[in-house]
Amino acid sequence: MTFKDLGVIDPILKALEAEGYSQPTPIQEQSIPILLDRKDLLGCAQTGTGKTAAFSIPIIQHIHNSKAHENGRRKIKALIVTPTRELAIQIGENCTKYARYTHVKNTVIFGGVKQGAQTNALRNGVDILVATPGRLLDLMNQGYISLKDVEYCVLDEADHMLDMGFIHDIKKVIAALPEKRQSLFFSATMPQSIVKLSQSILGNPEKVTIKPEQATSEKVEQALYYVSKKSKTKLLVHLMTENEIDSVLVFSRTKHGANKIVKQLDKVQIKAEAIHGNKSQGARQRALENFKNRDTKVLIATDIAARGIDVDELELVINYDLPNVPETYVHRIGRTGRAKNSGVAISFCNIEERAYLKDIQKLIDQKIPVVTQHPFADEVEEMPEKKTQTRGQRNYSKPQKRTSDSDNRANRSRDKKSHKSKNKYRN
């Protein structure tokens, strides 16, 4: 299956080719025809599956074909609402790439920065507006934004939107949209509250589900280290120095914890920075840039700040703390093993986190292979895993559910990739 087979037009095909997208990901394969057919969509998928292209390509195509740019100043035809600034910026960047050879223009608005540049861009006219909910409502209330010409509306990462308390903002935004529109709704999880919200927005939607297991077991190699709480940083330093790691995204459950890890790494001359909600937008963006440029070796992030971080060739993520919500584990390890690459996800687990581990393994329907041979293993009170993995030995007994051609292709290209980089973390 190619993007052309899905009905994508030439100017967009050219841009996708330039991006190196040789074939659609499963969510793209399933969603693009539905969306080109102007149907509503309920998508159960996480970031990392290629969902941005899945929803933005059809929107760009519709707007390009409508020749809206020929009718004077552009009016907002598509609204994409997403929970975090990082994600908004990233979606905007991707829309710009995919629309490069079309007439379609986008802009991005988000809070935490002055509004001047954003209102100027809006005044010039845009076709697609990517927004976080707070700034969107703010600029709507100030009269800078009218949604009355919106024909396409996307609610991205709805579960996080609700977690972050945006429900009232979302309802106000939806109320300001024209009744007649195409609506798209994405969420990685589908609890009852999300289903209810989706029903209030969508009209008779088509459903597309990309299971977390597919996303995790396809491309991310996972490993688990039992370690006491007090030795976690020592283990992190050990893994980094032993394996000469020069780029790793580390997840901390708390902002305070993230700052603490930065300080501890600083003491051993490992350059690290933290991004979390207490940091200004400028500081977060700078830290992300430094990490992307490899000036900073370690980026420590809390879950909310990490939403949407998209760093090419991110080889390794470390769960310094296990998340208490199992779906978050899937989100986190999805930072590596993005569409083009494979990756490694290492998790540290202390005694208090074993209940979280149980929930995670249940969700992903696999046991994460345990690495027992490390210098801090002896400090662990009790080792519940009988079947363990020894130094240098690979033990990936996860079930491989492969059904389609694209799955087989993914398998082959993964097999081709050397496991050198992966095994080097197993020490």
Distance of closest approach, residue 118 Cβ to ligand AMP, in angstroms: 23
Distance CA 324, CA 368 (A): 16
Nearer to ligand AMP, 310 or 353 (CB): 310
Distance of closest approach, residue 5 Cβ to ligand AMP, in angstroms: 13
**Does the footprint of ligand AMP cover residue 21 (CB under 6 A)?**
yes
Distance of closest approach, residue 94 Cβ to ligand AMP, in angstroms: 6
* DSSP characters over 246-296: --EEEE-SSHHHHHHHHHHHHHTT--EEEE-TTS-HHHHHHHHHHHHTTSS
DSSP 8-state code for residue 312: T
Nearer to ligand AMP, 18 or 355 (CB): 18
* DSSP characters over 54-105: HHHHHHHHHHHHHTGGGSSS----EEEE-S-HHHHHHHHHHHHHHTTTSS--
**Does the footprint of ligand AMP cover residue 207 (CB under 6 A)?**
no
Give the contacts of 17 (CB within 8 A, at least 6 positions apart): none
**Does the footprint of ligand AMP cover residue 339 (CB under 6 A)?**
yes
Query: How many residues interact with ligand AMP (rule CB under 6 A)?
Result: 15
**Does the footprint of ligand AMP cover residue 337 (CB under 6 A)?**
no
Backbone angles phi, psi at 259, to 5 degrees: -60, -40
Residues from 28 through 57 that contact ligand AMP (CB under 6 A): 28, 47-53
Distance of closest approach, residue 355 Cβ to ligand AMP, in angstroms: 30
Nearer to ligand AMP, 8 or 380 (CB): 8
Distance of closest approach, residue 239 Cβ to ligand AMP, in angstroms: 25
Nearer to ligand AMP, 9 or 339 (CB): 339
Distance of closest approach, residue 314 Cβ to ligand AMP, in angstroms: 10
**Does the footprint of ligand AMP cover residue 340 (CB under 6 A)?**
yes
Binding mask 292-331 for ligand AMP (x = CB under 6 A): ------------------x---------------------
**Does the footprint of ligand AMP cover residue 25 (CB under 6 A)?**
yes
Distance CA 212, CA 330 (A): 6
Nearer to ligand AMP, 49 or 182 (CB): 49
Binding mask 167-206 for ligand AMP (x = CB under 6 A): ----------------------------------------
* Side chain identity, residue 105: K
Nearer to ligand AMP, 25 or 107 (CB): 25
Nearer to ligand AMP, 24 or 133 (CB): 24
CA distances from 403 to 58, 238, 410 (A): 26, 40, 11
Q: How many CA atoms lie within 13 A of 298 on its CB side?
A: 29
**Does the footprint of ligand AMP cover residue 212 (CB under 6 A)?**
no
Distance of closest approach, residue 351 Cβ to ligand AMP, in angstroms: 35
Query: Of these, 6, 12, 24, 155, which contacts ligand AMP (CB under 6 A)?
Result: 24
Report residue 383 as tokens. Answer: 């080792």
**Does the footprint of ligand AMP cover residue 343 (CB under 6 A)?**
no
Q: How far apart are the first and last CA of the chain?
A: 41
Q: What torsion do the CA atoms of 19, 130, 180, 190 make, to the nearest 10 degrees?
A: 80
Q: How many CA atoms lie within 13 A of 282 on its CB side?
A: 2
- Cα 165 off chain centre by: 19
Burial 103-140 (b: 16+ CB within 10 A, else e): bbbbbbbbbeeeeeebbebbeeebbbbbbbbebbbbbb
Nearer to ligand AMP, 18 or 383 (CB): 18
Nearer to ligand AMP, 17 or 266 (CB): 17
Distance of closest approach, residue 307 Cβ to ligand AMP, in angstroms: 10
Nearer to ligand AMP, 64 or 219 (CB): 219
What is the arrangement of strands in the sheet containing 78-81, beginning at the earlier edge strand? 106-109, 128-131, 78-81, 152-155, 182-187, 41-44, 206-209
| Residue range at the interface with ligand AMP (CB under 6 A); choices 123-131, 263-271, 332-340, 374-382 | 332-340
Report residue 139 as tokens. Answer: 């600029």
Nearer to ligand AMP, 352 or 405 (CB): 405
Is residue 136 within 8 A of residue 109, CB to CB? The reply is yes
Report residue 103 as tokens. Answer: 């007439």
Binding mask 59-98 for ligand AMP (x = CB under 6 A): ----------------------------------------
Q: Which positions touch ligand AMP (CB under 6 A)?
A: 21, 24-25, 28, 47-53, 310, 338-340
